Amino acid sequence: MKTKILNCLLVGMLVLSFGCSNETGIMDYPKVIDVISLDLREGCVWSYNAREISIDSAYVINSQETLSKFISCDDDHQVDFDKNTVLFVWETATSDIYLRSYKLIQLSQDKFQLELNVEQGMTTAPGSWQVALSIPKITQKAAVNLIINRINNIQ
Asked if residue 135 is part of any domain, the answer here is: yes
Asked if residue 13 is part of any domain, the answer here is: no
**3-state secondary structure at position 88:** strand
What average pLDDT does the segment 104-115 reach? 96
Asked if residue 90 is part of any domain, the answer here is: yes
Tell me: the pLDDT tens digits for 3-23? 444 444 443 443 444 444 455
Asked if residue 117 is part of any domain, the answer here is: yes
Asked if residue 22 is part of any domain, the answer here is: no
What average pLDDT does the segment 129-146 reach? 94
Name the domain count of the chain.
Answer: 1
pTM above 0.85, yes or no: no
Instruction: Print the domain residue range for 48.
Output: 28-152
The phi and psi torsions of 142 (rounded to 5 degrees) equal -60, 140
Report pLDDT for 11: 39
Assess contact for 131 and 99: CB atoms under 8 A.
yes
